[in-house]
């Protein structure tokens, strides 16, 4: 992970792009890339989306990476340790959605919120 | 990373949520969480967003983690190695945006596309 | 429509909010509100989404209105006649997706693009 | 407005696309189109976004129309009168953000929520 962060920083700084990469612009870019990822599955059913992903692994892979790169950079510029942030959130989710109440409930997130 | 993937799988499977987590639903969730992250910076300038992030590190951290968790799970269910996907995309970006052409150009991505 | 535009302008100006409502901030807000609308249908199938909408008309109605209000304001601040913009885009779509090629094709937009 | 709704229905039905246009798929499409609109202003300041919109009115106009068309269709398939929904939401916003409290406050929506 640390290597990836270094590489993203180097890529940005060689191009003098840090001036544009404030947290808001990075969050905007994450949303834009997330929508490009979603577009791959537009109009498809869940099953069709699964088949499409299996047959177009490189396209899916690239769109996932685009979101991930900006997300790693946003964590970096805001001084957040992404691995620790994920662990902390998983802990919180485990408390928020206890197994016995959340099991197999399709309205899960919404109703348990 | 592998530990995190295992933990996300276990969290999902204990709740019997795999039935909902097809690639399309996960991509939808990534977009929704990306927008919640963006909402933290709504109406703010880039500078204000930077100050807000410094003063509200936990909220930013949680929203970043929400996007990351679904992104890691989407990579997992589609059989994509997220670390490799990021490396491959950084390689591609380096070819797409050569330093001498991209340096300090604010219209960068758009004009060089 | 003109009455609605006047009302949105008045609402904004009485609160002295025009300073925040540049095209970028409005586009950010449209994306955020679009995600809140999408969240109503998160994890649901198409059929479940239809039933949910029928049983929760007011919530759906409010989220649709939130997107529409910012969209109308963005058209207004950029000097675009929204009704004419829609007509022009429907003309263009009719040329882009001829009936005989687009009929019943689920991959439609993507393949015909 | 009623003419526009009729035209959108006719366009969809001639292509036999109603089968794909459930509320969830339409909400997904609204989010995707909202992100394409936002992409026009990616990396720009508010002022630069204003200049870009003035110089690229047709592109902005097309992206706004794309969001509007799916939004009008979503209102139509869920039996919502869009004009009434907007009026009702403006009434609610007026109660939620009283002029004396909201005036010139940049943290407005967030803090007053």
As a whole number, mean pLDDT of residues B68-75 equals: 98
What radius of gyration, in Å, describes the C-alpha atoms of chain D? Answer: 17
Q: Is the pLDDT of residue B112 over 60?
A: no
- Cα(B94)–Cα(B103) distance, rounded to whole angstroms? 12
Q: Is the pLDDT of residue B107 over 70?
A: no
User: With an 8 Å Cβ cutoff, are A106 and C31 in contact?
Assistant: no
- Cα(C75)–Cα(D111) distance, rounded to whole angstroms? 27
**Tens digit of pLDDT for each residue in A9-25?**
999 999 999 999 999 99
What is residue A105's predicted lDDT score, i.e. its pLDDT? 82
- Cα(A29)–Cα(B24) distance, rounded to whole angstroms? 20
Contact at 8 Å (CB) between B11 and A93?
yes
Q: Going from the first residue of chain D to its last (113 residues), give the mean pLDDT of each consecutive group of 10, the final group possibly shorter.
A: 93 95 98 98 97 98 98 98 97 94 72 41
**Tens digit of pLDDT for each residue in B10-58?**
999 999 999 999 999 999 999 999 999 999 999 999 999 999 999 999 9
Tell me, yes or no, if B17 comes closer than 8 A to chain A by beta carbon. Answer: yes
> Which residue in chain D is spatially nearest to B49 when comparing CA positions?
D107
Looking at the partner chain, which of B20, B28, B42 has a beta carbon nearest the beta carbon of C38? B28
- Band the pLDDT of A113: cuts 50, 70, 90: very low
Angle at D65 between CA D64 and CA D70, to 5 degrees: 110
Q: Of the candidates B67, B68, B113, B78, which has an alpha carbon nearest to the alpha carbon of residue B92?
A: B113
Q: Of the candidates B65, C113, B33, which has an alpha carbon nearest to the alpha carbon of residue A42?
A: C113
Beta-carbon contacts of residue B106 (< 8 Å; ≥ 6 apart): A19, A20, D43, D44, D48
Q: Is the pLDDT of residue C42 over 80?
A: yes
| Alpha-carbon gap: D80 to the closest alpha carbon of chain B (Å) | 23
> Which residue in chain D is spatially nearest to B47 when comparing CA positions?
D45
Picking from B28, B36, B37, B70 by the largest number of C CB atoms within 10 A of its own CB, the best residue to mutate is B28
Q: DSSP string spanning chain C?
A: -HHHHHHHHHHHHHTT-GGG--HHHHHHHHHHHHHHHHHTTTT--HHHHHHHHHH-HHHHHHHHHHHHHHHHHHHHHTT--HHHHHHHHHHHHHHHS-HHHHTT-TTHHHHH-
User: With an 8 Å Cβ cutoff, are B80 and A69 in contact?
Assistant: no
Chain A residue numbers with beta carbons less than 8 Å from the beta carbon of D25 are 42-43
Compute CA distances B34 → A27, A62, D1, D65, whole Å. 7, 17, 33, 23
> Which residue in chain A is spatially nearest to B15 when comparing CA positions?
A103
Contact at 8 Å (CB) between D36 and D66?
yes
- The percentage of chain B sitting over the pLDDT mark of 90, rounded to a whole number, equals 86
**Tens digit of pLDDT for each residue in A38-52?**
999 999 999 999 999
As a whole number, mean pLDDT of residues A47-69 equals: 98
Interface of A with C in 39-68 (CB under 8 A): 42-46, 48
- The percentage of chain C sitting over the pLDDT mark of 90, rounded to a whole number, equals 86
User: With an 8 Å Cβ cutoff, are A41 and B34 in contact?
Assistant: no
Q: Return phi, psi of residue A41, to 5°.
A: -110, 5
As a whole number, mean pLDDT of residues C85-91 equals: 97
Contact at 8 Å (CB) between B44 and B56?
no
According to DSSP H, which parts of chain A are helical? 2-14, 23-39, 46-55, 57-77, 82-96, 99-102, 108-112
- Predicted TM-score (pTM) of this structure: 0.94
User: With an 8 Å Cβ cutoff, are A106 and C42 in contact?
Assistant: no
Beta-carbon contacts of residue A39 (< 8 Å; ≥ 6 apart): D32
What is residue C108's predicted lDDT score, i.e. its pLDDT? 55
User: With an 8 Å Cβ cutoff, are A27 and B40 in contact?
Assistant: yes
Burial class of B29 by CB neighbour count within 10 A (0 to 12, 13 to 18, 19+): buried
Q: Of the candidates C86, C101, B2, which has an alpha carbon nearest to the alpha carbon of residue D69?
A: C86
- Chains interfacing with B (3 or more CB pairs < 8 Å): A, C, D
Helix (H, G, I), strand (E, B) or coil at B81: coil
> Which residue in chain C is spatially nearest to A24 when comparing CA positions?
C28
| Alpha-carbon gap: D26 to the closest alpha carbon of chain C (Å) | 9
User: With an 8 Å Cβ cutoff, are A43 and D34 in contact?
Assistant: no
Q: Is the pLDDT of residue B78 over 80?
A: yes
Q: Is the pLDDT of residue A87 over 70?
A: yes
Burial class of B9 by CB neighbour count within 10 A (0 to 12, 13 to 18, 19+): middle
| Alpha-carbon gap: B44 to the closest alpha carbon of chain C (Å) | 8
Chain C residue numbers with beta carbons less than 8 Å from the beta carbon of B36 are 35
| Alpha-carbon gap: D3 to the closest alpha carbon of chain B (Å) | 32
- The percentage of chain A sitting over the pLDDT mark of 70, rounded to a whole number, equals 93
As a whole number, mean pLDDT of residues A68-90 equals: 97
Q: Is A67 left (phi over 0), alpha (psi -120 to 50) or beta?
A: alpha
């Amino acid at each position: 992970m640390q290597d990836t962060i270094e590489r993203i920083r180097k890529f940005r700084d060689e191009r003098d792009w840090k001036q544009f990469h404030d947290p808001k612009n990075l969050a905007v870019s994450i949303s834009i890339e997330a929508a490009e990822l979603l577009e791959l599955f537009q109009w498809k059913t869940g099953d069709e989306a699964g088949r499409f992903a299996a047959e177009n692994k490189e396209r899916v892979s690239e769109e996932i990476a685009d979101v991930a790169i900006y997300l790693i950079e946003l964590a970096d510029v805001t001084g957040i340790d992404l691995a620790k942030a994920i662990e902390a959130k998983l802990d919180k989710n485990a408390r928020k959605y206890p197994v016995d109440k959340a099991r197999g409930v399709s309205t899960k997130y919404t109703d348990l919120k």
